[in-house]
Structure 1
Amino acid sequence: MGASRIFRLWTRALKRAAAPVAAAVALLVCVDAAKAEQHGSASGLPVPRYVSLKSDRVNLREGPSKDHRTTWVFQRAGLPVEITAEFEIWRRVRDSEGAEGWVLHSLLSGRRTALVTPWKKGGESILYAKADAQSASVAKLQPNVLANVRSCDGGWCKVFGEGFNGFIQQSDLWGVYPNEVVE
């Protein structure tokens, strides 16, 4: 076998061996980029994440500055919102109805709250004495009741509010992710 043929075979073998290595490196770069995108550029906290409003008057703006037009005014302290992006002292948020805009970070709290089944128009959600649908019912909560979230185990959340305290199925809340554990 001639030297040029050996060289061609060796080059092909090297290229075949290099392809999986290049793919693995590309995958690692993508995974690192995805991890970087999952944390806010300003806070370093996970994005998206749920927080609540500190005040009963919070302006929702078109963009991340006071120069941008106010598109909505939230008027319910404790309302849960989802942070979807960060820019300096501004947070892009989404409410339970899908409205999105920018809010000053100082008007947001890390306190976890949730709305009971805001997607239901009528009907009630059951609050139980224990994290078990076979346990005693302690209350029936209407849609859009604001609940403080004490903890969640991925299926059930311990919540409390004005006149109620108990467990509710996590799937009946807007303000916690499916299967999320809140301690």
Structure 2
Amino acid sequence: MVRFFRQVLPRAAIVLAFATAAALAAPPTHTGTDGTGAASDQQEGEPQSDAAHPDAVVRSGLPVPRFVTLRSNELNVRTGPGVRYPVEWVFVKAGMPVEITAEFDTWRRIRDVEGTQGWVHQSTLSGRRGIIVTGQQTRTLRRDAASASEAVAQLDPGVIAKLRKCKGPWCQVDVGGFRGWLQRDEVWGVYPKEEVGE
């Protein structure tokens, strides 16, 4: 699977980056619903103590867990909900879907397609939806929501697309100037029975 993050090693400050050219298509431009601004970190809303952070403290009133996307091409992922916690990862792909698994004040614990977790400020996330193509083989983007429908494009594993809607086992996406349908079980970024509209 393609990786869209760099790991920050504490002492040597060595940065590892994994990506493929196929997955580095132009990211979608978005305005989010989970905060404002495009900074990679914010100091506001930092916890008042260094006590162990909660597993899930819901502040926004939105459901947890839920899927969102990354707002910027460089996003610091910390070990806890505040700037006092060290940066463990740097995500490097705007538009990539992540799952919010907990909230603490203005901080969100997120998980990516590979299970990597950490805390980011809410302003670095967008309410717009996206998906990542999964599996080990190319997937066929189809004109209509049917297996016999005409093929529009072939998508490699790791490609990121904008999610428009899902109905039944099919999801409509936009990617690289193409619009079409993928089977829900070929992507990550939407729940099995979740209804998604435009």
TM-score past 0.5 threshold: yes
Unaligned runs of 5+ in 1: 1-38
> Residues 173 and 40 of structure 1: is their aligned pair in 2 closer, same or farther, counting only changes over 3 Å?
farther
After the TM superposition, list the runs of 4 or more consecutive aligned residues in structure 1 that deviate by more than 3 angstroms. Answer: none
2-structure distance, mates of 1:47, 1:173: 20
The DSSP-based 3-state class of the residue aligned with 2:185 is helix
* 2:189 paired residue number: 175
The DSSP-based 3-state class of the residue aligned with 1:171 is helix
| Residues 34-82 of structure 1 deviation map (CA, whole Å, 9 limit, x = unaligned) | xxxxx96210000000000001111110000000010000010011000
> Residues 134 and 43 of structure 1: is their aligned pair in 2 closer, same or farther, counting only changes over 3 Å?
same
The structure where helix makes up a greater share of residues is 1
Contact kept in structure 1, 2:184 and 2:192, CA below 8 Å:
yes
1-structure distance, mates of 2:63, 2:171: 21
- From 174, 179, 182, the counterpart of 1:165: 179
Contact kept in structure 2, 1:125 and 1:140, CA below 8 Å:
yes
Map residues 19-34 of structure 1 onto 2, 5 A cutoff: none
Map residues 23-172 of structure 1 onto 2, 5 A cutoff: 41-117=58-134, 120-121=135-136, 123-172=137-186
Contact kept in structure 2, 1:115 and 1:145, CA below 8 Å:
yes
Contact kept in structure 1, 2:58 and 2:64, CA below 8 Å:
no
More relative contact order, 1 or 2 (CA 8 Å, 6+ apart)? 2
Identity %: 50
How many angstroms does 1:134 deviate by? 0.9
Contact kept in structure 2, 1:127 and 1:137, CA below 8 Å:
yes
| Residues 135-157 of structure 1 deviation map (CA, whole Å, 9 limit, x = unaligned) | 11111100011110110013101
- What is the one-letter code of the residue matched to 1:138? V
| Residues 100-151 of structure 1 deviation map (CA, whole Å, 9 limit, x = unaligned) | 010000000000000011xx23x11111110000111111100011110110
Contact kept in structure 1, 2:162 and 2:174, CA below 8 Å:
yes
2-structure distance, mates of 1:181, 1:151: 8
Larger Rg: 1
Contact kept in structure 1, 2:69 and 2:130, CA below 8 Å:
yes
Count, aligned residues: 142
> Residues 60 and 114 of structure 1: is their aligned pair in 2 closer, same or farther, counting only changes over 3 Å?
same
TM-score, with structure 2 as normaliser: 0.70
- What is the one-letter code of the residue matched to 2:127? G
The DSSP-based 3-state class of the residue aligned with 2:141 is strand
- What is the RMSD of the two structures over their aligned residues, measured on CA atoms? 1.2
- What is the one-letter code of the residue matched to 1:68? Y
